[in-house]
Structure 1
Amino acid sequence: MSVQTERTDTAPAPVVRKTDPAPPGPAAGGPAGRRRGVPAPYLLLLPALLATVVLLGWPLVKNGLLSFQNLNPRQLILHLTEWNGVDNYTEVLGSSDFWKVVQRSVVFTAVNVALIMVLGTLVGLLLARLGKGMRLLLMLGLVLAWAMPVIAATTVYQWLFAQRFGVVNWILDALGWHAMADYNWFGSQLSTFSVITLLIVWQSVPFVAINLYAATTTIPKELYEAASLDGAGAWTGFTSVTFPFLRPFLWATTFLEVIWVFKAFPQIFAINAGGPDRLTETLPIYAFVEGPGNQHYGMGSAISFLTILILLGLTAYYLRTVLKQEEDEL
């Protein structure tokens, strides 16, 4: 009787069918399987990281080492390494010319980036409103301007603004400004910077405009319809619908343009080599003139390293401002 009671009280053993799924394990996405899959993304990034270290990291280290040396033609010929500590940095930071160039570079970058972002945004919004044919034609012109080599574009601008046979002076003279017939656009600081700014803005606007137009295609049309039903005009629709969607793109593009304009070298150097009287030198031009130009390579390395630090400081300040604004909006 006791045996029968034990049989009835005992729970039946589970029946495992062939169709039941196997318990989770390493092959079925269990914890061990996830741990084995973790290195895969890092392995995919490894070639790019190695290329960055070789092509960017190692030259940066060599530049940093050169900045602590007294490296002139004599040391190069005799294969001498003369360490002078922080003398190059002390001389650069104690020079008033360096700080004038820093101020000039920051103002030059701010003006160019502001013009690029405003004009690029307007052209991008225009692309979104044009018909298919006109949009294709305008985008073709933008792509051609953006794809034109930098030195070729700079040469064209030198021809356009040439003193004697330039097209710009000829047009201004034909319109009645006869005093501009032989005007030297590269004879003063302001006019030279005006030509360089026009060149850099002309080269940069296509990138901003085309990418902004691509960003506008992701905005749902229903939001514009709802805004129009609420009585929103063009400006209200832009501020309430378009701009919130484009804000992340605008922040990222501004960040890229700050870097690109701040380190611009070929346009400025090819136009007038930092002239007249070195009044249009920015930090990259100043580093080249003081370094390879004067055959004082340690000094040039110190200036270029300080340029990198200044650019990192500007970008860090910009990113901090952007993150703070996003936190305030949340």
Structure 2
Amino acid sequence: MAVQPEQVTRGPGGGAGVAGGPPPTGHRARRRRGTGPVRRRHTALDRGLPYLLLLPATAVTVLLLGWPLLENVLLSFQNLNARQLIQHLTEWNGVDNYRGTLTNEDFWRVTGRTVAFTAVNVAAIMVFGALVGLLLNRLGKGMRLLLSLGLVLAWAMPVVAATTVYQWLFDTRYGVVNWSLDALGWHSMAEYNWFGGQYSTFFVITLLIVWYSVPFVAFNLYAALTTIPAELYEAARMDGAGAWKVFSHVVLPILRPFFLATTFLEVIWVFKAFTQVYAINHGGPDRLTETLPVYAFVEGVGNQHYGMGAAISVLTIVVLLVLMSSYFRVVAQQKDEL
């Protein structure tokens, strides 16, 4: 019996097939028909690629931040004064530096002062920064450009230069502030010493820090406001909402993550502010305006108790972490409410 040749048939799509044979299925069929996704196997390299890309940045961060922090922690367990530094001696004293710091009333007094100082500054920065950001959103193109230029110049000024300018402005004899107050009728302020009292010195430092930090909040808020559709404002105004209700019911709920993140950054920056506080009056008068960073510097470098200064700096980080933990709980609660 002669073998019959295989009959070639045409399918609906014009594809050729062999009569009597099983149709191709699975991956082979999808590849032949050109339809359906081709599943790719994930190799170990594919899974580890994100970590490899993050490795350089992680290594640089550990090198620049982690190593100095570790050295500072080790230094806080040493008795390192001028004698040990000159003779290159390493004297471990356990937790004596921490015990001496935590039992010192000055440390707790400075800690409370730093927390209050941070709270006042952050509140003022967020309020004035939000107002300036809302103003940027409402101004015309020309006035917005002019105000933005002024904010950029204030933001770009070096901290030491800005501090020097404020020292000149509030100078006792030749300061513009005293001269202006005297010209307006407050003659008792003609030669007022702004740096002779605790609260007046803190007032100048607060002005400096708020003035320096407002541009960051204002620019970020203005950028966030541009993402809100104009239809939401129009709908709120059609419902009879005024400016405050528009802000509290439209802007604030949408930009709540922005306010939380910006407040978080401002707490860190103000809490660790050193240059403004120290350069204005070196923590004076009578060390009444010292915050924790200045207190650590004065005790460590000024009094040459380097181990004690390192312990104070480590405790400063711990206090900041405690404050941030409370802040993170508030953020988590608000996130659950949303």
TM-score (norm 1): 0.92
Q: How far is 1:163 from its partner?
A: 0.4
Is 1:287 aligned with 2:300?
Answer: no
Question: In the alignment, residue 271 of structure 1 is paired with which amino acid?
Answer: I
Aligned to 2:76: 67
Is 1:80 aligned with 2:89?
Answer: yes
Aligned to 1:127: 136
Whether contact under 8 Å (2:78, 2:91) holds in the other structure is: yes
Question: In the alignment, residue 63 of structure 1 is paired with which amino acid?
Answer: N
Partner Cα separation in structure 2 for residue 54 and residue 17 of structure 1:
51
Aligned to 2:326: 317
CA displacement, residues 206-238 of structure 1 (integer Å, 9 cap, x when unaligned): 000011000000001111122222222222221
Whether contact under 8 Å (2:274, 2:293) holds in the other structure is: yes
The equivalent position to 2:100 in structure 1, one of 84, 87, 91, is: 91
Q: How far is 1:19 from its partner?
A: 4.6
* Secondary structure at the counterpart of residue 32 of structure 1: coil
Partner Cα separation in structure 2 for residue 230 and residue 23 of structure 1:
51
CA displacement, residues 123-146 of structure 1 (integer Å, 9 cap, x when unaligned): 101110111110110011001101
1:222–1:76 distance in 2 versus 1, CA, 3 Å: same
Q: Percent identity?
A: 70
1:291–1:30 distance in 2 versus 1, CA, 3 Å: same
CA displacement, residues 300-324 of structure 1 (integer Å, 9 cap, x when unaligned): 0000000001011111111111111
Aligned to 1:6: none
Partner Cα separation in structure 2 for residue 117 and residue 175 of structure 1:
30
The equivalent position to 1:32 in structure 2, one of 28, 38, 42, is: 42
CA displacement, residues 94-132 of structure 1 (integer Å, 9 cap, x when unaligned): 000000000000000000000000000011011101111
Is 1:215 aligned with 2:224?
Answer: yes
Aligned to 1:277: 286
Instruction: Pick which of 299-308 and 238-247 moved more.
Output: 238-247
1:84–1:17 distance in 2 versus 1, CA, 3 Å: closer
Is 1:267 aligned with 2:276?
Answer: yes
Whether contact under 8 Å (2:30, 2:36) holds in the other structure is: no
- Structural RMSD (CA): 1.7
Aligned to 2:33: 20
* Secondary structure at the counterpart of residue 241 of structure 2: coil
**Structure 1 stretches of 4+ moved >6 Å:** none
Partner Cα separation in structure 1 for residue 249 and residue 213 of structure 2:
27
* Secondary structure at the counterpart of residue 255 of structure 2: helix
Partner Cα separation in structure 2 for residue 118 and residue 263 of structure 1:
20
Instruction: Pick which of 223-232 and 112-121 moved more.
Output: 223-232
Aligned to 1:109: 118
- The gaps in structure 1 that reach 5 residues or longer are 1-9
Partner Cα separation in structure 2 for residue 300 and residue 180 of structure 1:
39
The structure that has the greater radius of gyration is: 2
Partner Cα separation in structure 1 for residue 281 and residue 39 of structure 2:
63
Question: In the alignment, residue 164 of structure 2 is paired with which amino acid?
Answer: T
Is 1:193 aligned with 2:193?
Answer: no
Aligned to 2:335: 326
Question: In the alignment, residue 73 of structure 1 is paired with which amino acid?
Answer: A
Aligned to 1:163: 172
* Secondary structure at the counterpart of residue 129 of structure 2: helix
- Number of aligned residues: 316
TM-score (norm 2): 0.90
Aligned to 2:61: 52
